[in-house]
Amino acid sequence: MAAKPIRLGVNVDHVATLRNARGGALPDPVRAAALAIEAGADGITAHLREDRRHIRDDDMHRLKARISKPLNFEMAATEPMLDVALAVRPHAACLVPEKRTERTTEGGLDVLGGHDRLRPFVSELTRGGVRVSLFVEPSAEAMEAARSIGAPVVELHAGAWAHARETGENGRAQHEFQRIKDAARKAHALGLECHAGHGIDYDMAREVAALAQVVELNIGHFLVAEAVFVGLGQAIREMRAAMDEGRRHAH
């Protein structure tokens, strides 16, 4: 069976980080989003943090109004954030941990301990026509908990894998990638759509795109970092090519 195409969601948070460093209007994350789509992004991701350190409420509204591809709204599971999300009505929302108490040691949303607290957020967003994903660590227990919470999508946290690669711990990196593989299979078996994100670079994108169960990658920091040297459009085209190459070897 041929693998489904894999989508690239470009996270524009750090374009806003740069803008906020000066306190003015440049660079505009909405312009970056339009350029990203032109260069091959299948969607735009932005994280409205409680302290508004990069993306602001107005950015979310402008992104929703102006971009031609789906918007993925990353957010903490809190009442004020739910109000903003329901006002923006993005295509998708990804629930992410913001406070220490909401996350596991690896950084994913604590879907086991937070099960009953998270469930109403998933149902409210779903009722509002928003497709909900949960940003979780790649473990079988997290996949089962995500399903029981009622989310149709999981985004596997690739941070531990990225960190092991960055520090040159090869054995650890292999182990972490294996966990992503196993979790992707488990998610698929449970009927969950599977995404991955955090810390992904070209090589990691190539590898993870070879997992047929993973249908979307959300990538921000590496693309903005590359953009400083080669431009955002070129960085996205290279990322798209890396993902397509990986997908050709999907299994």
In 85-143 the beta strands, taken as DSSP E runs, fall at 92-95, 131-136
Catalytic site residue from 198, 207, 216, 226: 198
DSSP 156: E
Q: Give min distance, CB of 180 to ligand PXP, in A.
A: 13
User: Dmax over Cα atoms in the chain, in whole Å?
Assistant: 51
What tokens does 247 get?
A: 């997908």
Q: Give min distance, CB of 14 to ligand PXP, in A.
A: 7
Report the residue closest to ligand PXP, judged by CB.
Answer: 197
The residues, any chain, with a CB within 8 Å of residue 58's CB and separated by 6 or more, are none
Catalytic site residue from 47, 54, 157, 195: 47
Q: Which residues bind ligand PXP (CB under 6 A)?
A: 11, 47, 74, 94, 96, 135, 155, 197-200, 218-222
Q: Catalytic residue at 74?
A: yes
Q: Catalytic residue at 47?
A: yes
Catalytic site residue from 14, 54, 74, 226: 74
Q: Which is nearer to ligand PXP, 147 or 159 (CB)?
A: 159
Q: Which is nearer to ligand PXP, 30 or 109 (CB)?
A: 109
Q: Catalytic residue at 54?
A: no
| Alpha-carbon span 86 to 103, nearest angstrom | 24
Q: Which is nearer to ligand PXP, 96 or 251 (CB)?
A: 96
Q: Give min distance, CB of 38 to ligand PXP, in A.
A: 20
Q: Give min distance, CB of 5 to ligand PXP, in A.
A: 19
Q: Give min distance, CB of 157 to ligand PXP, in A.
A: 7
Q: Which is nearer to ligand PXP, 165 or 198 (CB)?
A: 198
Task: Name the burial class of residue 170, with classes exposed (0-12), middle (13-18) and buried (19+) by CB atoms within 10 angstroms of its CB.
Answer: exposed
| Alpha-carbon span 117 to 133, nearest angstrom | 15
In the chain the beta strands, taken as DSSP E runs, fall at 7-11, 43-47, 71-75, 92-95, 131-136, 153-157, 193-197, 214-219
Q: Which is nearer to ligand PXP, 1 or 232 (CB)?
A: 232
What tokens does 213 get?
A: 């169960």
**Residues recognised as catalytic:** 47, 74, 198
